[in-house]
Structure 1
Amino acid sequence: MNSKKIILTMCFIGCQILAFAQYIDPVTFRKLDITLDTATMEVTYRFTFVCGTLKPDVYTKPDEQTLLIGKKISKYFSQQLVDKTEQKIFFSDIEGACSFEIFKKSPEKDRLTVTDIGNDFFLGANFQYDEKMPVMDWKLTPDTCVILGYPCRKATTTFRGRDYEAWFTKAIPVSERPWKFHGLPGLILKVWDSKRQVIFEYTGHEQLTKPKPILWYGLEYQYITREELSNRYKELLADPLGYAKKYLTQVMGQVDYLPPRPYNPIEIE
């Protein structure tokens, strides 16, 4: 990691990284996980999506996802993302599970840091990119509904190739979001695109009496742009075996063909 990349990371996740990034486990000689903040609220969502546009009614198995909210940092991730073992962290290959983690710093809220724990046998590396907080031009409507007992109001926006409908509530006094959504005056409880291919649904929240750590995993990350990472996924799914031969250190023996898989990213543009 060169100095420019370290500075870029510091802009988002704060001085904690500078203080702890070089801590090494004396037994495993691996970088230690870093506690960026402690969460005082935990919000859970269920995420489902359509893998391929040729089968618009076929959804993945729902992925249970978590939003941890601290005073300085929030983190959004799949509950099935990693398996914490003595061998450190690796991606859990479960249908529907998303390998991204999204960090947002408060109170500035002007940048996102996204990591993708693809690991050696999945994407060939763990990736990280930083971006400015995406602009979301929400339009409030008079429509209302009740979700799990909370009064909600509807808002719509267009973001990176998809038209979205969101339902948010002011009854839960935090202005937070699933995934990258932001900018509404309350907690988003449900959001989906107009084709119902991408769906985030609130399942509950808890004020934590025992704060949880918001962790930055002590892995090696390769810096990449959002567009470059999207292209890696596109290449992987179009030709899995070719991708493996190109990027992975180990390729399954006696395998001479792997069929392509559909590619339907959340961010089309």
Structure 2
Amino acid sequence: MTDGEEPLLGGMANAGAVFRRGELVERPAPRHARELHAHLRVLKEHGFDAAPTPVDLTADGRERLTFIPGDVALPPFPDWAMTPSALASVGRLLRRLHEAGAAVPADTRAAWPTDLADPEGGTLVCHNDMCPDNVVFRDGRAAALIDFDLAAPGRALWDVAMTARYWAPMLDPESAAALYPAGLDPVARLPILADGYGLPAGERAGLPGVIEQATEVCRAFVARRVADGDPVYVRALAERGGWERWDRVQTWLVDHRRTFTAALLA
């Protein structure tokens, strides 16, 4: 770090490697940075101004983007980020991204990352990692999205499911207690997110099943990182209950599928 640089906290893969310098943020560039930057610029042309604007790539493999002012919730997540109104605003922000993205077909030549990508594919570039760490709030409302490193083509419903995992959250009570405020009811909160997004009635019944599918993909992602010896993921797995936790979450999702479906359709 040099004079005038401010380290930005949060995240896992790039923890400790993201800095703000004035109105710009400098961070490690993903392998497909050129294609991703082009996509973000076209999104802005189609009215989505709630993402960083790419500036350039550096010779040492980093990217520079505009800084977005606001508040980002870091774990353990604070109460202000988990209010019903905050949750609804997350849904609205995701819908804005998808509406702009619908006019921007995915670049089929780009080497989009497969880490958290929808296994069924699609033409809409999904964010795939809309966790609290990647949402910028202003005045208690979700105002912008950051960190598009794992964005890839997929279904809109996939992105809603990925987002629900973090924001309902779609976790059993024991697992949720480690990172979230007490008292959050995912059965009540999942419809709030769906309503904020404006999820069509025809897709609501399928959302719980896609959340289960997304959880399996996320587990496989963690397993690959742990098998590769990634110290960040090895430590996080140990600190958050190991594979027993993942087993518990997946069983809980299946056991409550009908309850979630009924709440979404009520």
TM-score, reference length from structure 2 = 0.25
Structure with the larger strand share:
1
Structure with the greater alpha carbon radius of gyration: 1
Query: Which protein has greater RCO, CA pairs closer than 8 Å, 6+ apart?
Result: 1
